[in-house]
């Protein structure tokens, strides 16, 4: 997958404006030079002087040129920013679409800090290249080339001297390029490490506190920050040298114009007005050369940022087929699930079972047997290596993703609350229910007290992962989120973990009363016994067992010989 083209759609128009701007700025320089030449030659020629009308004309001409130059500079900044921001917006959307396409498992191939750096630091580097690098290269480059061309007409020898000075400075800048690229890569690598460490430790500051590792983490953070500081200073040293060369090239160009022009006047090969006009053009070149000196800096940063963006776009979905066949609509049904020889390498092979519509099924088994993975296979989030999963007689591999996601709802510790309002978390994934329906669900799940307690009620802000709420409150909100979707199948992945007695009672009540199929993973033999059926996943096989075959301590089989298969 490639990055979006820089010049596409409306961005072509903005780039066209920049090209026209460069031509316009060169025209300003030519107009200023000709006006200065005419005025200077008039003043130094014996017997000639400005009349009042001529002085007013020259003054008006200078004022118009200055105003036009100021407008062109303002317009170039605006169009450059529109070009850069337009591109970054398109790339940002593409990156986010790709993340949602590869799913959670695909995104985990890259650390969260690295992903965030792609969206912040790397996008900034690309925007700077387009807005400050490519735009300046276009405007200042065109203006400088046309200005030097004009200078070659006015004074060819002066133009040659200026061109030589600019070329030498450009070659020196190119020689610095590899060192700049090296320091930029090192800075980015160290910034990434610091960002990844900071993101992880801030997200899990409670772990640091619980194990008394504050001093150790502060020292580690200090080491990473120190290394980043040194890298940034090394990079600034190279950038400073590059910028000084660009500034020096402008000064050298003006000096060459002055010295060579003076020699030409002394030799009688040029008029004073032509030399002064050449000085005006050289003075016009100086800030443009400084602009061009920054282009190489931005280009190096953009090259590295582009590599990192392509790394993110190269991530592939994990456990998903590339294509899902013809995307068909999901027909009406009550939630019947059929597993036909479903397999996944390393966990199980050839699992077959049928779960009737409206049935309450407990899925038990030892840790690592693949229970959570099986739920994801049932829901179509993960694709198996073989076999078929059907929902109400339809192969889920051929269903539209939107229909599939509305047919299944998950409750799992791995699906935490989102940063946002309580209302957002409750209604996420489904259509916004009527307030009466929402209040009823909140009352059934015992969340009405929480709503009254939180400032703002349903519009109260929830922190990332539901920080500040109790484990039971987070679990009840997650359960309400799933129930409010009104799915055909409710999948509970150890939703009873770490819940107190009252919260478990609420969970059991919702499970019993839910108008649909429920499949839940549990290690509690009492909860498993309350199900219509118990499915045991162990040793790569799926079997139906009775409740008295489960260990009271873990909810898993006491021993294989004690199992009583009933189907």
Higher pLDDT, 354 or 249: 354
Residue 232, domain member (yes or no): yes
The alpha-carbon radius of gyration of the chain (Å, integer) is: 35
Cα-based distances in Å from 120 to 95, 117, 289, 313, 314: 12, 5, 29, 16, 18
| Structure-block tokens of residue 295 | 């282009």
pLDDT confidence of residue 234: 92
**Range from 143-152, 249-258, 374-383 carrying the lowest mean pLDDT:** 249-258
pLDDT in tens, 404-449: 889 999 998 888 888 888 888 888 877 788 778 888 888 888 888 8
Q: Which residue range is the domain that position 465 belongs to?
A: 337-562
The mean pLDDT value for 127-135 works out to 92
Same domain, 256 and 358: no
Same domain, 55 and 199: yes
Given a cut of 80, is residue 55 above it in pLDDT?
Answer: no
- With beta carbons less than 8 A apart as the criterion, state whether 496 and 527 touch: yes
**Range from 39-53, 141-155, 159-173 carrying the lowest mean pLDDT:** 39-53
Question: Where does residue 9 fall: left (phi above 0), alpha (psi -120 to 50 degrees), or beta otherwise?
Answer: left
Of 279, 313, 347, which one is at a domain's C-terminal end?
313
Q: Please report, rounded to a whole number, the percentage of residues in the chain having pLDDT higher than 90.
A: 27
Of 313, 329, 352, which one is at a domain's C-terminal end?
313
Average pLDDT over the chain, rounded to whole?
83
Residue 4, domain member (yes or no): no
Higher pLDDT, 278 or 205: 205
Residue in the structure block whose two tokens are 């489960």:
550
Residue 329, domain member (yes or no): no
pLDDT confidence of residue 565: 35
Same domain, 157 and 197: yes
Burial class (CB in 10 A: 0-12, 13-18, 19+), 500: exposed
**Rounded Cα–Cα distance for residues 491 and 375 (Å):** 7
pLDDT confidence of residue 336: 94
Domain count, the chain: 2
pLDDT confidence of residue 250: 66
pLDDT in tens, 1-44: 789 999 998 999 999 999 999 999 888 888 887 787 777 766 66
Residue 102, domain member (yes or no): yes
Same domain, 275 and 404: no
Given a cut of 60, is residue 149 above it in pLDDT?
Answer: yes
pLDDT confidence of residue 564: 37
The mean pLDDT value for 175-185 works out to 81
Residue 325, domain member (yes or no): no
Given a cut of 50, is residue 348 above it in pLDDT?
Answer: yes
Same domain, 308 and 352: no
The mean pLDDT value for 88-101 works out to 92
Highest mean pLDDT among 55-69, 159-173, 185-199, 358-372: 358-372
Given a cut of 70, is residue 383 above it in pLDDT?
Answer: yes
Given a cut of 60, is residue 393 above it in pLDDT?
Answer: yes
Residue 2, domain member (yes or no): no
The DSSP secondary-structure symbol of 328 reads: B
313: nearest Cα among 462, 91, 488: 91
Same domain, 300 and 201: yes
- With beta carbons less than 8 A apart as the criterion, state whether 380 and 397 touch: yes
Residue 526, domain member (yes or no): yes
pLDDT in tens, 525-536: 888 998 999 999
Residue 387, domain member (yes or no): yes
Q: Could you tell me the CATH number of the domain that includes residue 437?
A: 3.40.50.300
pLDDT confidence of residue 43: 65
Q: How confident is residue 471, by pLDDT bands cut at 50, 70 and 90?
A: confident
Same domain, 385 and 306: no
Q: How confident is residue 182, by pLDDT bands cut at 50, 70 and 90?
A: confident
Same domain, 352 and 306: no
Same domain, 239 and 291: yes
Q: How confident is residue 322, by pLDDT bands cut at 50, 70 and 90?
A: very low
Same domain, 500 and 361: yes
**Rounded Cα–Cα distance for residues 519 and 410 (Å):** 10
Same domain, 136 and 280: yes
- With beta carbons less than 8 A apart as the criterion, state whether 421 and 481 touch: no
Higher pLDDT, 181 or 313: 313
Same domain, 360 and 499: yes
Q: Could you tell me the CATH number of the domain that includes residue 102?
A: 1.20.1560.10
Given a cut of 80, is residue 275 above it in pLDDT?
Answer: no
Map 401-420 to HEC letters: HHHHHHHEEEECCCCCCCCE
């Amino acid at each position: 997958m490639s990055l979006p083209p820089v010049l596409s759609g409306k961005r072509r128009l903005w780039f066209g404006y920049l090209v026209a701007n460069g031509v316009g700025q060169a025209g300003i320089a030519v107009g200023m030079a000709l006006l200065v030449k005419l005025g200077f030659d008039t003043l130094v020629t014996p017997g000639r002087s400005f009349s009042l009308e001529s002085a007013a004309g020259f003054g008006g001409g200078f004022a118009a040129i200055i105003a036009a130059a100021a407008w062109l500079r303002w317009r170039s900044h605006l169009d450059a920013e529109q070009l850069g921001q337009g591109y970054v917006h398109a790339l940002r959307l593409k990156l986010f679409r790709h993340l949602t396409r590869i799913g959670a498992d695909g995104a985990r191939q890259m650390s969260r800090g690295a992903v965030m750096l792609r969206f912040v630091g790397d996008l900034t580097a690309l925007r700077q290249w387009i807005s400050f690098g490519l735009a300046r290269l276009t405007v200042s480059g065109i203006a400088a080339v046309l200005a030097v061309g004009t200078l070659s007409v006015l004074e060819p020898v002066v133009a040659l001297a200026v061109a030589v000075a600019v070329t030498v400075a450009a070659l020196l800048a190119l020689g610095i390029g590899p060192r700049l690229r090296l320091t930029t890569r090192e800075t980015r690598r160290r910034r990434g490490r610091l960002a990844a460490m900071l993101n992880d430790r801030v997200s899990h500051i409670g772990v640091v506190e619980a194990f008394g590792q504050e001093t150790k983490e502060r020292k580690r953070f200090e080491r990473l920050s120190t290394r980043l500081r040194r890298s940034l200073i090394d990079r600034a040293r190279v950038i400073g040298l590059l910028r000084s060369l660009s500034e020096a090239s402008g000064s050298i160009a003006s000096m060459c114009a002055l010295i060579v022009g003076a020699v030409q006047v002394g030799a009688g090969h040029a008029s004073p007005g032509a030399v002064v006009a050449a000085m005006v053009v050289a003075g016009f070149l100086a800030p443009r050369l400084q602009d061009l000196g920054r282009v190489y800096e931005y280009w190096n940063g953009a090259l590295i940022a582009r590599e990192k963006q392509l790394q993110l776009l190269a991530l592939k979905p994990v456990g998903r087929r590339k294509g899902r066949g013809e995307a068909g609509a999901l027909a009406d049904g009550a939630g019947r699930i059929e597993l036909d020889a479903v397999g996944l390498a390393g966990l199980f092979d050839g699992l077959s079972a049928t779960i009737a519509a409206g049935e309450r099924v407990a899925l038990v088994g030892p840790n690592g047997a693949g229970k959570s993975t099986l739920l994801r296979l049932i829901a179509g989030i993960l694709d198996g290596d073989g076999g078929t999963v059907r929902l109400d007689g339809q192969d889920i591999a051929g269903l539209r993703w939107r229909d599939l996601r509305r047919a299944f709802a998950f409750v799992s510790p791995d699906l935490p609350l989102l940063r946002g309002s309580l209302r957002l978390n409750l209604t996420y994934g489904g259509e916004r229910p009527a307030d009466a329906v929402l209040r009823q669900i909140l009352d059934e799940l015992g969340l009405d007290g929480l709503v009254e307690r939180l400032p703002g009620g349903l519009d109260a802000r929830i922190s990332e992962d539901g920080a500040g709420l109790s484990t039971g409150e987070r679990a009840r909100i997650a359960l309400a989120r799933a129930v409010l979707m009104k799915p055909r199948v409710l999948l509970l992945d150890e939703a009873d973990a770490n819940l107190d007695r009252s919260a478990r009672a609420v969970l059991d009540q919702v499970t019993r009363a839910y108008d649909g199929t429920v499949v839940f993973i549990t290690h509690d033999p009492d909860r498993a016994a309350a199900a219509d059926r118990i499915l045991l996943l162990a040793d790569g096989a799926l079997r139906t067992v009775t409740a008295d075959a489960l260990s009271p301590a873990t909810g898993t089989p006491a021993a294989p010989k004690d199992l009583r298969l009933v189907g």
